[in-house]
Amino acid sequence: MAKNGRFIGAIEFFTDISDLRTTFITRLRISLTVLSGIALLALVAVSFASYRANRLQLRALQKQSAKERDLMEDQLRLAREVRLLGELNEWLQSSRSLDELFDMVSRFMTHILPEAEGSVYVYSNSRDVLDGCASWNGGTHKAHIHPEGCWGLRRGRTYEYGASEIDFVCEHAEPHDGRPYFCFPILAHGETVGLLHLRALEGTDEAFHTSKKLAQLSAEQISMAIANVRMRDQLHDQSVRDPLTGLFNRRHMLETLRKSINRSQQTGAPLSLIAVDVDHFKKFNDTHGHDAGDMVLRAVGAALEQGCDRDEVACRIGGEEFMLILPDNTSDDAITRAEQLRQAVGAVSVRYGEKSLPRITISVGVSHYPAHGTMPQDLMRAADDALYAAKDKGRNQVQVAGSGSDSQQISQLKKPVKATGGKSTA
């Protein structure tokens, strides 16, 4: 400070800012704390959002992986089912008989449909009933069932028990414990030939219902195989059977005779051959007509077939001529059998329309291996020679090939022998 140009002194003013500083520092700390909290919250929010996004992505990946795994499992299961169905079809097409076919079906179905027990029925030749042929996975089959006792057969389509609110149990499924089941009619060439019955195992209802398509495909495979085996059997029968009498034809007779001779050569087992001819057959045709003659041939064929036992074979080799191959029959056995056949045919009565045809008689010739030959042609020729000898001696008798005492043989044969035969009517 100055006065009149003289410096008197100085005055200095001070302001106390301690409180202000403290307030500023406090506010700054609060601001920093708030900013730190906000940053932390932001970081937490970002972390949570990132975590949630990652979880969602992980779940999406897991779902996608599960879908792909299920798809892969479905594809593997489908590939396995296709492979098994292909193998089933290949094996079934290779089967030689229905018995062999049903054995294959039983073994394959335990793998194709492990969650189901099953059985197969096939129509009998009379088509009145279905015969039980096979079962698997603990299933059972009845010896015979009636077509009316199955809703699948009655309605002509697949019947699924347990798929509707109201169901009816098939008679062949009794006793029933409430488990769902399928009845698949087996069709071949538009004709029902059998029935595939499948029932769910305990606790496998859901898997059982989902297997319906596979079961349907299996039924189709089985139906085609049955049709092929039956067609093959029919073609084989047509090639070896005589269409009129149902006996084996000459072709089959020659093949069987060769096999029988080979067996006798290897084992020493006896073998005999019987030749049969219907006496005065031309008179039947000329007097009563060819239809009556056919009835006579069928009656004689039936009597000869009934007289066969075990591996014995009756054949019609042409016209009114027949032959019987008798393995394991000695010469004496064959002579006795020949006489029984002669008496059995003589006891047959054939009605044609409203009248009975005249009594049928046969002439019989017998040959024996190896006494009368070691080749099929030799045995057949010897039996034919004995047959014509019987005709020359008056017919309706038995002669043995190469016999040195024919009259003694005939007198022995005229002794009563218990005959087997029956009556035929039309």
pLDDT digits (tens, 9 = 90+) for 370-405: 999 999 999 999 999 999 999 999 999 999 998 533
Sign of CA dihedral 97, 99, 102, 104: negative
**The predicted structure's pLDDT at residue 310:** 77
Segment 6-20, tens digit of pLDDT: 777 766 766 666 777
What per-residue confidence (pLDDT) applies to 404? 39
Cβ atoms of residues 362 and 278 within 8 Å = yes
Q: What amino acid occupies position 345?
A: V
Question: Per-10-residue mean pLDDT for the chain, 426 residues long?
Answer: 70 70 86 90 88 89 88 79 79 82 88 89 85 90 91 92 88 90 87 90 88 87 84 80 90 92 92 93 85 90 87 90 92 91 90 82 93 92 93 91 49 39 37
Q: Rounded to the nearest 5 degrees, what angle is found at the Cα of 343, between the Cα atoms of 337 and 349?
A: 135
Distances (CA, A) of 97 to 4, 91, 161, 168, 240: 150, 12, 32, 35, 16
